[in-house]
Chains A and B, each alone.
Chain A
């Protein structure tokens, strides 16, 4: 495309947006509203994911050792634990430490510990952190068979329920996000189709005076670029304002729930939404035109 035509297309695109004011406003609003909903959902799903990962990271296996093991036997058990693929890290907790921890978690029942302290019933143990939480039951089985390990505890029921819950949350979030993405694409491209349809006579006239298809297409696609990017920029602003408000509200009532606030994620979401709006605006108008160019 020559410079002259590009300048003309740019000028026409801006003029058309102004002259078809109402249609332009409807298109920008559609892009803004749909992308805002999509963006908020993406943040919600990302947070659910983050929440699930956070919970999973808290899962560990406790391997309680038999009474009276020597230091070398303990080392041997530790080596055997670390040899297993799914085990990431092990921490030795002596019976004294275990008692101290218990005492600290039950400050209000101090008297109870006066008697226990003389004859500590708690065993030495290893706290085992895993790589893959799904592998916890298999890892626990492996640990159970190690000589010198008396008992293994990982809260089977809770772990299994939690894993099912996080899996379901992730799946539902992804499906819902996919559906909303499709709906957004459909809504935006349909609105653009409507604006093009409203101007089909104009396109027909252009064809009849000898305009090539690309000559007609450029101003429309530039309009799509302007509308798509403008709409998505507003939606990015709305998304983060709403997110900030939600965070403030939730922190006030339940401050211990972890939320995603890292800039990297926000930037990724902003860039994705911007390019999604831009692409759908451009391609939407490009494709909608096809039908009317065949004159």
Chain B
């Protein structure tokens, strides 16, 4: 599903975020990427949904090299990946329903089908009663659940999240992680960048430790300590 070969990312300001890393993530895997701030976790996630390109090396997602996309192909590529951010990135002027349905409007899904699918995911994340609320009327956890619903509404085969519980309390964080577990159980590959070690340890999933812009450890299962 995700393959990175000798990937280096150097930003325009000269900062090296990733230094010659190679990693492989299979279909339907649930993987955490952990490491201290500035280690390169977010860069790794951004490479997966092609917000950025590697300076050196190859990134293969779903069998396609992200360097070789034509500009026109990028939107279609992204429709197969659900992305979740620490700051939620919801459109403030749209209701919860519209924030989620937008993803389906993009693919020209019929209106009836949109309604059915949006209410399905809202039920899954427990927000059916907030469908008409605006993002700013929601709590942090509710906003993040909306963002998750948006990411999964069109059944992507890959879901990536960058610090999805970074702004949330431990109880809400656990609820969010349960949702990710369910998404994974339904067949999607899930990759989460995080530094919430206690939760990661509880989840007992494969964990890739990034430190100083390189992969330090790749733990198949079990407790992590950095």
Binding site for B on A (CB under 8 A): 2, 4-5, 8, 16, 19-20, 201-202, 204-213, 215, 295
Q: B75 to chain A: which residues have CB within 8 Å? A: 207, 210-213, 215
Min CB distance B43 to A, Å, is 16
Q: B150 to chain A: which residues have CB within 8 Å? A: 209
The answer to whether A20 touches B93 (Cβ under 8 A) is: yes
The answer to whether B79 touches A2 (Cβ under 8 A) is: no
The answer to whether A8 touches B93 (Cβ under 8 A) is: no
The answer to whether A5 touches B108 (Cβ under 8 A) is: yes
Min CB distance A231 to B, Å, is 22
Contact A210-B79, Cβ < 8 Å, known A2-B108, A215-B106 = yes
Does B89 sit within 8 A of A, measured CB to CB? yes
Q: A210 to chain B: which residues have CB within 8 Å? A: 75-79, 103, 106-107
Contact A208-B83, Cβ < 8 Å, known A5-B108, A8-B105, A295-B51 = yes
Min CB distance B157 to A, Å, is 13
A-B contacts, 17 of them at CB < 8 A, read A2-B108, A4-B111, A201-B91, A202-B93, A205-B91, A207-B78, A208-B51, A209-B83, A209-B106, A209-B150, A210-B76, A210-B79, A210-B106, A210-B107, A211-B75, A211-B102, A215-B75
The number of residue pairs between A and B whose CB atoms lie closer than 8 Å in the complex comes to 52
The answer to whether B78 touches A208 (Cβ under 8 A) is: yes
The answer to whether B93 touches A19 (Cβ under 8 A) is: yes
B49, B51, B91, B108: the one contacting A202 at CB < 8 Å is B91
7 A-B pairs with least C-beta separation: A210-B79, A210-B78, A19-B93, A211-B106, A210-B75, A209-B103, A212-B75
Q: A206 to chain B: which residues have CB within 8 Å? A: 102, 106
Most B CB contacts (10 A, CB to CB) among A4, A204, A209, A210 go to A209
The answer to whether A205 touches B89 (Cβ under 8 A) is: yes
Q: A4 to chain B: which residues have CB within 8 Å? A: 108, 110-111
Min CB distance A218 to B, Å, is 11
Q: A5 to chain B: which residues have CB within 8 Å? A: 105, 108
Q: A204 to chain B: which residues have CB within 8 Å? A: 89
**Chain A: which residue is nearest B79 at the CB level?**
A210
